[in-house]
Amino acid sequence: MALVEPIPGAPAAVADFESERALVVADFHAGVEQAMRTDGVSIDSRASERRERLLDLLDRTDVQRVVFLGDLMHAIGGPGGAERGEIEVLVEEIEVRGVSVTLVKGNHDGAIEEWVECDVTDGKGARFGDVGFAHGHTWPAREVLEAETVCVGHEHPTVRLEDSVGGTRIERVWLRGELDSEPFEERFGSAVDTRAELVVFPAFNDLTGGTWVNVEGQEFLAPFLPDALPDGEAYLLDGTRLGRYDEI
């Protein structure tokens, strides 16, 4: 059984490590609507909808922890009142259910550790048992890479699919495959003992856009991608296997 199993139909997974099970989500981006309004896109807040979707996943899974895989915040600097309020209410609603919260800090999370009421790791990530977690905006710690399964976010992977009459649609996807240690060995200047599976999470927030991984000319965001995942395969949220992402 895989240590990290996506939840069918959801941009979230359950991870098993040590004596705990965790719900794992990446790129929540609380308060993204404010940034969109600043850019001239008028959209009502979906904070309540995001919170209820996550709490529903808690009700569906028997977990003791929620791991936010970076970018719980959207504003890179200090959050506005609405964004901070969304995060504080969300964390409180999770913890009142007896579930602990860990944030693996991402590039959008600023100084969130100064005010959020949960555990916050640094940007190089953290390891729980045989599962390593990092946001993906920077190089993960060696300890994270030497886990059995390595989970990252940041990329917001999507694919552009075409139908037989030329119509197109964009779908969020998972990327999974064997982690290639070479980019990390070049970075660290020494061998990295890893035979891990690398799992790139889709964004939980569907307003954030993403990297079209099957479109020529699109550049990956993570400094170790695509080199660290040369044979990665893409899966839709419903579990449909699309094959190698670079051949879709």
Question: Domain containing 149 — which CATH number?
Answer: 3.60.21
CB 57 within 8 A of CB 204: no
Instruction: Please give the tally of structural domains in the chain.
Output: 1
In a domain, 50, yes or no: yes
Q: Which residues of the chain have pLDDT under 70?
A: 1, 35-42, 76-80, 164
In a domain, 30, yes or no: yes
In a domain, 248, yes or no: no
In a domain, 181, yes or no: yes
In a domain, 162, yes or no: yes
pLDDT for 181 equals 95
Name the nearest CA neighbour of 133 among 1, 3, 39: 3
Name the nearest CA neighbour of 139 among 79, 179, 195: 179
In a domain, 77, yes or no: yes
In a domain, 15, yes or no: yes
In the block, residue with structure tokens 């020529």: 216
In a domain, 93, yes or no: yes
The residue segments making up the domain with residue 141 are 4-243
Q: What's the per-residue H, E or C state across 107-174?
A: CCCCCHHHCCCCEEECCCCEEECCEEEECCCCCCCHHHHCCCEEEECCCCEEEEEECCCCCEEEEEEE
Largest CA distance in the chain: 53
Report pTM. Answer: 0.94
